[in-house]
């Protein structure tokens, strides 16, 4: 899932999406001529040449921040007749996150996911059906349903780290990617897949992942080898999950996992979910969570092991919980891990899984900056909300370049003081991530176990962000030395 350079990634995310994907849309939006307020300043001419040069010499956050410093919190990048308008800061972000689907939506920007997840789900179906399917996934991941996932998650964590020796050096990227797939297979897919066909499932899922590349984003159906492997893998995955679903239905067996909850889901008209729909939703959930969870787990560790003060605070919290609960971990114990929660949240602030969120304006709307300037955003513009910049505003976050989990603690709570949309690592409003509680739970389980059972040290340099990825993550290996050292109650 790599592009050839960070420059290409940014160009795709910001400029080419509007240029290429819009041309293959069923209905092409046109600019509304009825704007009565000024339009946002436009990056063009010499400024546009400077932007293109910056793409080669600077990273994504720096490029966007430089444009923000020069043009303000609302500006438009115009290229090849297409317009991408950036909304920087919480004051101008309300409509992006709260606007009705009829006013601002993803448009056809994710149509390339149809051959990945299937024609029966997501952007292969109408809006009403898609909303019902989203409700099924949301219900399956509600905090009240997550309680039953703690024990199987914890079992996977304990069994995995039991295989480590008394001491050694490991690459956290590799370790967490494997562990999180084990957890996902147990909790999302069920014990049939986890115990009998995990390796095959991972191989097939990897082939689907590798089918997401620059060419397939814009031309998802052309018969290139990666697309063909993706399609064959998806057919086989559908067969595997269909057999599991059929077996459960015929035997009357009911399990406590997400797959079962999707099997039991019903549309408003009483219709049951089909095997193809269940498969598509499961693959979608795996896609949504795999890289974001593994990257956040890695960033949390790298930040903690690079920050003695906050590492000591997280360890001390675990010691107190070990004494209080006799080394037992359940849903309530996880809820009391406030220090660890803030450490994860701060890692997400600095390293959000989605650095730029993008939607299409279906109707004209107006934004007002904190300076009081008002701009009309015409229908047809692609709208970009740069999370990587919004999470680092100097007037909201004190020294935003510094890893400081205390900023979310009592007496500071900088994200709350900053107002709505000051922290959008999990989206917000109508577009909040449905897997936020699930993500925090599994990351807490992993890091609470490590802090209770090992002394850890980061032995490689603190990782840079790899902007060559569709989902940017830590670049290179993240090497950590470990030595067993179990806390006692």
Q: What sign for the dihedral angle of Cα 38, 41, 46, 49?
A: negative
Integer Cα distance of 378 and 393 in angstroms: 26
For residue 242, give Cα distances in angstroms to 236, 278, 356. 10, 9, 36
DSSP state of 474: E
Token reading at 428: 């917000």
Residue carrying the six token digits 């115009």: 78
Instruction: Check the CA dihedral 395-396-397-401 and report its sign.
Output: negative
Q: Which of 390, 385, 472 is nearest to 423 (CA)?
A: 390
Q: Which of 69, 25, 35, 31 is nearest to 50 (CA)?
A: 69
CA 158 – CA 82 distance, rounded (Å): 52
The partner residues of 427 in beta bridges, in order of sequence, read 425
Cα–Cα distances (Å) from 394 to 86, 89, 94, 317, 402, in that order, read 18, 10, 19, 30, 11
Q: Is 202 annotated as a binding residue?
A: no
Give the chain's radius of gyration (CA, Å): 23
The binding site for heme comprises 433
The binding site comprises 433
């Amino acid at each position: 899932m790599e592009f050839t350079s960070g420059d290409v990634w940014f160009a795709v995310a910001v400029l080419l999406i509007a240029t290429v994907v819009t041309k293959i849309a069923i209905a092409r939006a046109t600019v509304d001529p009825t704007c009565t307020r000024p339009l946002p300043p436009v990056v063009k001419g010499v400024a546009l040449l400077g932007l293109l040069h910056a793409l080669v010499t600077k990273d994504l956050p720096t490029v966007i921040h430089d444009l923000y410093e020069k043009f303000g919190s609302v500006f438009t990048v115009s290229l090849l007749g297409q317009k991408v308008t950036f909304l920087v800061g919480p004051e101008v972000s309300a409509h992006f996150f709260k606007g009705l689907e009829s006013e601002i939506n993803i448009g056809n920007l994710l149509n390339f996911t149809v051959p990945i997840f299937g024609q029966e789900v997501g952007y292969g179906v109408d809006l009403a059906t898609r909303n019902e399917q989203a409700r099924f996934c949301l219900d399956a991941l509600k905090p009240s349903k997550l309680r039953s996932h703690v024990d199987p998650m914890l079992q996977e964590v304990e069994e995995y780290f039991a295989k480590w020796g008394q001491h050694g050096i490991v690459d956290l990227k590799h370790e967490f990617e494997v562990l999180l797939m084990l957890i996902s297979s147990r909790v999302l897919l069920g014990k049939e897949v986890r115990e009998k066909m995990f390796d095959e499932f991972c191989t097939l899922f990897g082939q689907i992942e590798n089918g997401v590349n620059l060419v397939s984003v814009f031309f998802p159906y052309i018969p290139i080898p990666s697309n063909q492997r993706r399609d064959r893998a998806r057919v086989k995955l559908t067969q595997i999950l269909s057999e599991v679903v059929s077996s459960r239905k015929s035997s009357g067996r009911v399990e406590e996992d997400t797959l079962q909850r999707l099997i039991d889901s019903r549309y408003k008209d009483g219709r049951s979910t089909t095997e193809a729909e269940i498969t598509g939703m499961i693959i979608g959930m795996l896609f949504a969570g795999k890289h974001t969870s593994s990257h956040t787990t890695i960033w949390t560790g790298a930040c903690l092991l690079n920050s003695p003060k906050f590492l000591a605070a997280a360890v001390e919290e675990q010691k107190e919980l070990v004494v209080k609960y006799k080394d037992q971990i359940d849903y309530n114990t996880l809820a009391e891990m406030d220090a660890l929660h803030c450490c994860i949240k701060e890692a997400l602030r600095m390293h959000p899984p989605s650095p730029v969120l993008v939607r299409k304006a279906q109707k004209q709307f107006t934004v007002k900056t904190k300076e009081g300037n008002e701009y009309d955003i015409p229908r047809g513009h692609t709208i970009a909300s740069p999370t990587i910049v919004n999470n680092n505003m100097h007037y909201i976050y004190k020294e935003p370049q510094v890893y400081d989990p205390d900023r979310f603690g009592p007496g500071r709570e900088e994200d709350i003081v900053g107002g709505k949309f000051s922290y959008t690592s999990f989206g917000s409003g109508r577009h909040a991530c449905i897997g936020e509680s699930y993500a925090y739970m599994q990351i807490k389980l992993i890091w609470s176990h490590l802090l209770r059972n090992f002394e850890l040290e980061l032995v490689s340099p603190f990782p840079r962000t790899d902007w060559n990825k569709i989902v940017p993550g830590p670049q290179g290996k993240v090497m950590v030395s470990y030595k067993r050292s179990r806390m006692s109650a």
